[in-house]
């Protein structure tokens, strides 16, 4: 059994992390289901998905990845604010992509939202 985990520690760790992330997302979906405004509900859900599932390389080589929030926090704690923004840039870019996706979904579902009326043109 130790031979199995000795060679596959990295994939097993990511599998456990992803399973726990899915569990956290399910709980978060239940918590945010009480929010009546669809925009805020989807934004809060998107932020949690970005924070949990955005990977970034750990250390100097891109051989191993870790969650970007962990990389950001470790860099801030160990290297300081000036040197520790690698994970932050990844989270910022992922948040921007999430906002683009949510905006595209809003415009696709409600074409009048692009003009600011909230209604379809008559």
* Tokens 């956290």 belong to residue: 24
Considering only CA atoms, give the Rg of the chain.
19
| 93-122: average pLDDT | 78
Q: Give the C-alpha separation, 111 to 88, whole Å.
A: 33
C-alpha distance from residue 112 to each of 54, 67, 89 (Å):
32, 38, 33
Residue 49's pLDDT band, with cuts at 50, 70 and 90, is: very high
- Band of pLDDT at residue 6, cut at 50, 70 and 90: confident
- The helix/strand/coil state of 75 is helix
Residue 54, sorted as left (phi over 0), alpha (psi -120 to 50) or beta, turns out to be beta
Q: Which of 32-36, 56-60, 68-72 has the lowest mean pLDDT?
A: 56-60
Residue 95 has pLDDT above 90, yes or no: yes
Distance CA 41, CA 32 (A): 6
């Amino acid at each position: 059994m130790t031979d199995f985990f000795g060679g596959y520690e990295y994939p097993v760790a990511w599998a456990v992390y992803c399973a726990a992330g899915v569990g956290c997302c399910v709980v978060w979906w239940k918590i945010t289901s009480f929010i009546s405004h669809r925009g805020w509900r989807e934004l809060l859900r998107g932020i949690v998905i970005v924070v949990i599932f955005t990977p970034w390389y750990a250390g100097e080589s891109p051989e191993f990845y870790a969650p970007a929030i962990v990389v950001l926090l470790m860099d801030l704690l160990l290297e300081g604010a000036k040197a520790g923004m690698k994970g932050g840039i990844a989270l910022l870019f992922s948040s921007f992509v999430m906002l683009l996706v949510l905006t595209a979904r809003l415009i696709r579902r409600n074409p009048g939202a692009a003009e600011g009326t909230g209604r379809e043109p008559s």
